[in-house]
Amino acid sequence: MAEAYVRTDEELVEDVLDGDVAAFRGLIERHHDALFRFLFRLTGNRQMAEDVFQDAFLQVHQSLDTFDSSRRFKPWLFTIAANKGRDALRKANRRKTVSLSAPVVEEGGKSFVDLMEIDLPDVSSPMEEAERSAKVQRAIDELSPRLREILLMAYFQKMTYAQIAELFGIPIGTVKSRLHSAVAAFAKAWQELNEKKSENDHAAESSG
């Protein structure tokens, strides 16, 4: 028995423009998990991620007739969502200081550090794991929004250089350069945090 044909994103867009409301719901359901995870990590706040998610799809719905059907839908969607996320963070930062980093521990699995090309010591207790995760968050906070976005796209969304280049509208060489800068910036911040902790531990031992 032949498998049922699954319509592409671009075909669903055409269906929506032809008046098929269910097709738009199909686009939302198809991209919900991946887009929400990206926004959650970008903003570090579940409520903000939910609000941005809704705003992004509202913008998609309103602008669907301007979508270039010769291009892929997903990069267009993520571009809109990333822009909305940056706007939301700027507004939040004007009101109060918020953590821009997202939880780094995957549900039941790896942390952001596990995805980075950085040699870190193994942890041997839940307390040490929590401490390391908090430190990773502080290191991520040191990245600019642009570097943070490209890091999330590469390591969480598993996007290729070509896909990221299409999403941001930049050359592949620029993608590689920014990703290299992001990893280097993360490594530098991580090292500085470790050095600071060592100094504090030494001072505590001396005073003791």
135 vs 11, residue with greater confidence: 11
106-208 placed in CATH 1.20.1440.60: no
**pLDDT surpasses 80 at 38:** yes
* DSSP secondary structure code for residue 66 in this structure: G
pLDDT at 94: 66
- Ordered by start, the domain boundaries in the chain are 1-98, 106-208
58 pLDDT tier (thresholds 50, 70, 90): very high
Residue 70 near residue 8 (C-beta atoms within 8 A):
no
pLDDT at 201: 66
The DSSP secondary structure of 118-142, one letter per residue, reads ---PPP-SHHHHHHHHHHHHHHHHT
**pLDDT surpasses 70 at 77:** yes
Mean pLDDT, to the nearest integer, of 108-122?
39
173 vs 139, residue with greater confidence: 173
CA 124 to CA 122: how far, in whole Å?
7
Whole-model pTM?
0.63
Domain 1-98 architecture: Orthogonal Bundle (1.10)
Mean pLDDT taken over the chain: 77
Segment among 41-50, 83-92, 150-159 with least mean pLDDT: 150-159
- Alpha carbon separation from 185 to 11, 98, 143, 160 (Å, rounded): 40, 20, 7, 21
**% of the chain beyond a pLDDT of 70:** 72
Q: What is the pLDDT of residues 151-205, one digit of tens each?
A: 878 876 777 888 888 878 889 999 889 888 888 888 888 888 888 767 666 666 6
